[in-house]
Chains A and B, each alone.
Chain A
Amino acid sequence: MTPVEAVLLVFVLATAVATAVLRDVLAVIIAFAAYSLGIAVVWLLLRAPDVGLTEAAVGAGVTTLLFLLTIAKTVRPPSDELFVDVNLPALGVSGLLVAALATTLTALPEIGSSSTPVATSRVTNYYLDNAYAETGVENAVTAVLAGYRGFDTLGEAVVVFAALIGLLVVLDREVLA
């Protein structure tokens, strides 16, 4: 583990815990935005810049603004305490879940290993070998998303559209603005 990765890991863990235990909602939103930014850098280190861009734009950017807008329209109970009272049974359940998931860590392959099922899969190598020749698109991720898997992506785009309609239904409004 390089020093950059170690610092990033500590940062992500610290902001995640801060998101959970801070009492003030504004502070929680800021901690959550910092957490999203840290995760975005983690995606970059894992060589997934497309996902990193999404995490930075949606997680750290838009979601934070929507949360801020929401708390600006609601009333926050005043309190002098810095942290929430930790619910011990809930903490225990969370700890057990983390421990159970942690047992699978040893089964994971090395980061960047060339012998993982994904890297050796026939489908992956077909995409990597033929994406440019068949679609004329240099970014293999885009070739898969919009080319080979275009129908799935149409479904995703319609889901985004449906989310907007759903919010209008929830807010009992007929126009967006």
Chain B
Amino acid sequence: MSDSTGTAADDRLEVGAERPPRPYVESPIIMATVRIVAPFVFSLGAFVMFHGADSAGGGFQGGVIVGTVVLLIAIAFGIGPTREWISSSLLTLLVVFGVLLFAGIGLTALVFGGAFLQYEVIPVYEATKYGIELVEVGIGIIVSGTVVGLFFALAAGYRDPDGTEGER
């Protein structure tokens, strides 16, 4: 990832007249900052997601913030290694799991004789409250997986017709 041909300073997001610009430059400042900031951002995202029922926020906002943590790590430590760290199948499983979780809660209400997503028929303590919380978590999983997936898919780029990947 960090091939050090050419000076590192002048080719970041630079006008690519002769050679294509490299999106990743190893910077100790960025790496140290992300190392410190990432746990706090992740905590904030989890708080916004799980506490969305009682304060501002919810699954969508929290999911975006959690997804941003992976984007931060990818920018600091290189997109390629991060992409290998979080495998494609894990991302796909997460997003599909989120959709199935949301739809599954709706179908569970049907099983107990209610309408689709009618939480209160599910025989659980405070079913509506916890149903809403679980739905928010499902949304959070979908959104965080999608944000990370969009980032990695854009970074990987268009697959050329001759089979070579636009890998970088």
Contacts and interface: CB of A to CB of B under 8 A. Distances in A.
Interface of A: 26, 49-50, 52-54, 57-58, 61-62, 65-66, 68-73, 75-78, 134-139, 141-143, 145-147, 150-151, 153-154, 157-158, 160-161, 163-164, 167-168, 171-173, 175-177
Interface of B: 13, 15-17, 20-23, 48, 52-61, 64-65, 67-68, 71, 75, 83-84, 86-89, 91-92, 95-96, 98-99, 102-103, 106, 116-117, 119, 126, 128-129, 131-132, 135-136, 138-139, 142-143, 145-147, 149-159, 166, 168
Contacts of B151: 62, 65-66, 69
Contacts of B65: 57, 61
B157 A171 contact: yes
A158 B83 CA distance: 24
7 contacts: A136-B128, A139-B57, A147-B119, A151-B116, A161-B96, A171-B154, A177-B91
Given A50-B58, A176-B149, A154 B71 contact: no
Contacts of A142: 52-53, 58, 132, 136
A66 B74 CA distance: 12
Given A78-B17, A164-B149, A167-B150, A137 B92 contact: no
B71 A50 contact: no
A41 to B, nearest CB: 14
A48 to B, nearest CB: 9
A143 to B, nearest CB: 7
Contacts of A161: 95-96, 98-99, 142, 146
Contacts, number: 177
A157 B142 contact: yes
Given A62-B64, A146-B58, A146-B136, 12 more contacts: A69-B23, A135-B128, A150-B106, A150-B135, A151-B116, A151-B117, A157-B143, A161-B99, A164-B146, A172-B159, A176-B153, A177-B91
A147 B53 CA distance: 10
B71 A62 contact: yes
B23 A150 contact: no
Contacts of A135: 128-129, 132
Contact of A75 (B20, B119, B155): B20
Contacts of B119: 147
B8 to A, nearest CB: 15
A28 to B, nearest CB: 13
Nearest to B79: A69
Contacts of A77: 15
A137 B54 contact: yes
Given A65-B71, A164-B149, A139 B56 contact: yes
A150 B59 CA distance: 13
B68 to A, nearest CB: 6
Contacts of B152: 176-177
Contacts of A65: 68, 71, 75, 151
Contacts of B57: 49-50, 53, 139
Nearest to A75: B16
Nearest to B159: A172
